[in-house]
Amino acid sequence: MGAENKKKSGILNQTPTKAPELLGQAEVETEEKPVDDRAVGFLEVYGLVCAFMAADAGCKAANVTLEPFDKNKPANADSLPVPLLVTIKFRGSVSDVTAAVEAGRVMAESISGVVTSHIIPRPTEDTLKMLGICGFDTN
């Protein structure tokens, strides 16, 4: 390949690089994963209809997204107002998640009730893995 062809292909304009070990540096390439620092809010309610209504109220009240619902049928299910507990998981900024959980709580209390709620401002990576678990999955 002639010098003119090399110039056109950009080969002459490239700066050669040396291997890190030749430079005396211990450069290690690490793959940085994007950090998901959104807060997560949990609202556990009695029954699936109540969960849908509370999730809808929360999403309308704030700029949040939903993670998959989770369900639980506790041992004392027969003594509960509705024998199924559903956990709603909101994601967003701390203020939006707080507003969504509160709006969902108000709606749920008007239907069948709230078991508990909690907000995690910055969940750890391990907590984020657990958010993907869904009690409605059949596989």
Question: How confident is the model over 7-17, as pLDDT tens digits?
Answer: 444 444 444 55
Q: Is residue 48 part of a domain?
A: yes
CATH number at residue 44: 3.30.70.1710
Q: What does the alpha-carbon distance between residue 46 and residue 109 come to, in Å, rounded to a whole number?
A: 9
Q: Is residue 55 part of a domain?
A: yes
Mean pLDDT comparison of 31-35, 48-52, 122-126, 128-132, highest-scoring range: 48-52
Q: Is residue 23 part of a domain?
A: no
pTM of the model: 0.71
**Residues spanned by the domain of 74:** 39-125
* Token pair recorded at residue 34: 């994007």
* Token pair recorded at residue 65: 């997204």
Q: Is residue 49 part of a domain?
A: yes
Number of domains in the chain: 1
Q: How far is CA 27 from CA 16, 62, 102, 115, in A?
A: 17, 44, 48, 51
Q: Is residue 104 part of a domain?
A: yes
